[in-house]
Structure 1
Amino acid sequence: MTSIRKATTDDVEAIVELMYEAYAPIRDLGIQFESAYPTRDKVKDNMEQNLCYVYEIDNTLISTISLRMPWSSNPGPYYFPHIWWFATNPQYKGKGIGSEVLNFIENEIIKQGFHSPAVTLGTASNHPWLVEMYERRGYQKFGSKDLGKGHITQYFIKVLNSDLFCGTDSLRQKFTDVTYEEAEYGI
């Protein structure tokens, strides 16, 4: 039986283990994602500051994903929920679980639950396949930033409800023109 639910403190150890295994290729590429170096404290902090979900099969944690909310102490770079700390157990690669988790978060949580018209995420611009994967899923590049981690972070946005995305053309232009600092600090 499969389920997607909010993570609890009972999940911390399993999330640390899952993320460490899932992010091994990221560490091998030399990309310095914070999520590639999970610790108990970092996972607990993530769960306290953000919305953290887990995907289970028969009570075994297979995937996790977090949302940084615009009103939290750790918002994403723009005005919408921001996906981060997304990982799936490498033993389940190619089985569509990552897509199922993203679909659930995009549609059930962000679009229907929060009525947010869009979602953002960031990844290393030099990652060999993540940029193309997110573009295939309908994400569009809208900004980048050197966060001092040895790579350029490429930001993406996906419009989930164009009816709620009022002034779509002007908002899209705004996302094209604005820098990370301007969006983050309202400059």
Structure 2
Amino acid sequence: MGEVIFRLAEKQDAPRLVEVIYDAYVTIRDLNLHWPAAHANLGLVEENIADNECFVLEVDHRVAATVTLTRADNPMTALSGLPFLKWFAVDPAYQGKGYGANLLGWVEENIIRDRLGAPAVTLATAEKHPWLLPMYERRGYERIHAFDPGNGDGTMHLLRKIVDRGLYERFSRQRIGQAASG
């Protein structure tokens, strides 16, 4: 492994991120899933960087992987009450080397748990994708909600990973209490 750096993406990273995301999302396009990232262009990537927290993992000063933490007004965040990750991608030249797992782990621990103080994090994926669900489940994510967006993608799954068990138990009790009183 070369020199690895975790950081927020900047506008000047957008052209490289378009390459990484496009190349990583080939299976998504082959499955005809309607995910914005699968067809992201420079403008959409720049908008993602400006509107969200887009993290990158660099290897020897080259972006190898990326994942985005959405803003609080995301519908998935509203549903779960938890931070939501999207646009996870690893350049195919760097796949199978642990870089994607390292980036997700870094974001889960340093950003979600330590900086935000959130008990868990969520993401969503399609049931018909051949390897994403098992990959996320191996990383400790569990299915918490299935839905059909009605766009031809079929069943989508919202997954959750608990990053702080004690905090999650308090969070769950509070959500149950709010539901009972609301």
| TM-score with structure 1 setting the length | 0.85
**How far is the alpha carbon of 1:134 from its aligned partner?**
0.9
Alpha-carbon displacement from aligned partner over 1:79-106 (angstroms, at most 9, x marks no partner): 1110100000001111011100110010
Q: Pick one of 92, 107, 110 that aligns with 1:108.
A: 110
Q: Pick one of 156, 162, 171 that aligns with 2:165.
A: 162
Alignment of 1:113-132 (within 5 A): 113-132=115-134
- Which residue in the other structure is 1:8 paired with? 10
**How far is the alpha carbon of 1:78 from its aligned partner?**
2.1
CA distance in 1, matches of 2:71, 2:108: 13
Distance 1:158 1:65, change over 3 A: same
Alpha-carbon displacement from aligned partner over 1:34-67 (angstroms, at most 9, x marks no partner): 1111111111221122110111111111111100
Structure 1 residue runs without a partner (length 5+): 179-186
Kept after mapping to 2: 8 A contact 1:7/1:52: yes
- Which residue in the other structure is 1:20 paired with? 22
Structure 2 residue runs without a partner (length 5+): none
Distance 1:75 1:30, change over 3 A: closer
- Which residue in the other structure is 2:42 paired with? 40
Kept after mapping to 1: 8 A contact 2:9/2:54: yes
Is 2:125 the counterpart of 1:134?
no
Kept after mapping to 1: 8 A contact 2:119/2:171: no
| TM-score with structure 2 setting the length | 0.87
Higher percent of residues as helix: 2
- Which residue in the other structure is 1:153 paired with? 156
**How far is the alpha carbon of 1:25 from its aligned partner?**
1.7
Q: How many residues align?
A: 174
- Which residue in the other structure is 2:66 paired with? 64
